């Protein structure tokens, strides 16, 4: 009896698997197909990856394209996930995040007919890097990444404005950042923030901790709490879900917080009571504009930088805090914005 059941179950499994394999749909329509590969944060990270996915969806919907995403579970998945789309004959691939730089470059050379856009990573000729060493003039047209567009952001500018806001609002004279991994976009935010705070309040004390993960809100919260214990009363969370932990720590203590990447008042309503504003980089707009240029067949390889001048970065609205932020602070932010735009003021990030 037992053997029979076993045989029956095995047969059933085989039949099911065979049926499933036959049912594999091979959809090939004339529409362009867009794939998006997230970093380990995933499409619901309430900030950066989510914003990219929203921008991509908006573009795909408008132009009638197919769009899909794959989330990366670990760094060794990047290459494989790009390959999943490429071997399925996708036309445009968007890779989200600085950490995917190497994988994107290698795959872009492997698939020269696919258009790649990478958020947050620009390629520079570097000694010892196989895909673009220092004998090249630049990595895109000369170095062979002719199908890659880098979507960059001047995070230091908006970080600076967030710093001005924080420095203007702090009562204890200490502001802090709960940061994710120490990678250039995060460093730009942090450096800008600290210099902004010092610009409005030269004797302000700044604290910062880099946490080597973007998906560890528990550690972010713990870090936020320890900095609050050191007197910090405005927490700037820079680092996906890890930073969100810092915001939560501020909210629970009834202090002030500043979000990052998107207007976190909308994406992370749990902390909105504490949220002064968010240092937004409009990843969605950048991705959308890129897809628009693909649609117009005018997309180009190279670096596209979003900054205050072109509206690609900026402080989100103050929402509930609008009435509680003194006019003098608002004026200072306005001055800083103008001066950063005109180049009169530098953020201090090199």
From 31, 58, 63, 68, residue interacting with another protein (rule: CB under 8 A):
68
Assess 103 for contact with another protein (CB under 8 A): yes
The Cα-based distances of 134 to 106, 137, 221, 303 in angstroms read 17, 8, 42, 18
Closer to another protein by CB, 40 or 227: give it: 40
Q: 197-218 burial, b for 16+ CB within 10 Å, e for fewer?
A: bbbbbeebbbbbbbbebbbbbe
From 50, 51, 57, 81, residue interacting with another protein (rule: CB under 8 A):
81
Closer to another protein by CB, 34 or 336: give it: 34
Assess 84 for contact with another protein (CB under 8 A): yes
CA distance 214 to 72: 13
33-62 residues in contact with another protein (CB under 8 A) are 35, 40
Cβ atoms of 108 and 116 within 8 Å: the answer is yes
113-142 residues in contact with another protein (CB under 8 A) are 126-128
Closer to another protein by CB, 175 or 190: give it: 190
From 28, 29, 64, 76, residue interacting with another protein (rule: CB under 8 A):
76
Assess 102 for contact with another protein (CB under 8 A): yes
The DSSP code sequence of 256-291 is: EEEEEES-HHHH-GGGGGGEEEEEEE-HHHHHHHHH
Query: What stretch of H or E contains 39?
Result: none
From 78, 140, 318, 321, residue interacting with another protein (rule: CB under 8 A):
78
Assess 70 for contact with another protein (CB under 8 A): yes
Region from 22-30, 140-148, 171-179, 319-327 binding another protein, contact rule CB under 8 A:
22-30
The number of beta carbons lying within 10 Å of the beta carbon of residue 76 is 9
From 62, 133, 182, 270, residue interacting with another protein (rule: CB under 8 A):
182
Instruction: State both tokens at 53.
Output: 């996915």
Q: How many residues does the chain have?
A: 350
Closer to another protein by CB, 9 or 346: give it: 9
CA distance 91 to 110: 14
CA distance 12 to 191: 61
Assess 21 for contact with another protein (CB under 8 A): yes
Closer to another protein by CB, 1 or 229: give it: 1
**Total interface residues for another protein by CB under 8 A:** 53
Assess 296 for contact with another protein (CB under 8 A): no
Instruction: State both tokens at 172.
Output: 């204890």
Q: Which residues are bridge partners to 36 per DSSP?
A: 69, 94
Assess 75 for contact with another protein (CB under 8 A): yes
3-class secondary-structure state, position 209? strand
Interface residue list for another protein (CB under 8 A): 1-3, 5-6, 9-10, 12-13, 16-17, 19-25, 35, 40, 68, 70-71, 73-81, 83-85, 87-88, 98-99, 101-103, 106, 110, 126-128, 181-184, 212-213
């Amino acid at each position: 009896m037992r053997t029979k059941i076993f045989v029956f179950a095995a047969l059933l499994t085989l039949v099911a698997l065979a049926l499933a394999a036959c049912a594999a749909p091979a959809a090939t329509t004339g529409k362009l197909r867009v794939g998006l590969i997230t970093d380990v944060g995933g499409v619901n990270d309430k900030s950066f990856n989510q914003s990219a996915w929203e921008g991509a969806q908006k573009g795909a919907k408008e132009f009638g394209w197919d769009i899909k995403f794959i989330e990366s579970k670990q760094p060794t998945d990047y290459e494989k996930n790009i390959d999943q789309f490429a071997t399925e004959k996708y036309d445009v691939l968007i890779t989200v995040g600085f950490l995917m730089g190497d994988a994107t470059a290698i795959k872009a050379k492997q698939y020269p007919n696919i258009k790649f856009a990478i958020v947050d990573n620009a390629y520079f000729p570097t000694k010892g890097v196989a895909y673009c060493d220092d004998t090249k003039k630049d990595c895109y047209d000369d170095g062979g990444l002719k199908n890659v567009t880098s979507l960059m952001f001047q995070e230091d500018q908006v970080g600076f404005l967030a710093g001005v806001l924080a420095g203007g609002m702090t009562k204890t004279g200490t502001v802090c950042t709960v940061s994710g991994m120490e990678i250039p976009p995060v460093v730009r935010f942090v450096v800008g923030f600290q210099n902004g705070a010092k610009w409005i309040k030269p004797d302000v004390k700044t604290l910062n901790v880099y946490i080597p993960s973007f998906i560890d809100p528990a550690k972010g919260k713990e870090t936020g709490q320890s900095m609050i214990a050191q007197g910090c009363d405005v927490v700037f969370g820079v680092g996906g879900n890890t930073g969100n932990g810092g915001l939560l720590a501020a909210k629970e203590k009834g202090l002030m917080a500043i979000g990052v990447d998107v207007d976190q008042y909308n994406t992370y309503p749990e902390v909105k009571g504490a949220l002064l504003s968010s240092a937004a980089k409009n990843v969605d707009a950048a991705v959308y504009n890129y897809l628009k240029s693909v649609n117009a067949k005018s997309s180009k390889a190279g670096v596209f930088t979003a900054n205050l001048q072109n509206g690609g970065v900026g402080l989100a609205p103050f929402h509930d805090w609008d009435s509680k932020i003194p006019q003098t602070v608002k004026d200072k932010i306005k001055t800083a914005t103008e001066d950063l735009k005109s180049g009169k003021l530098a953020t201090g990030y090199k």
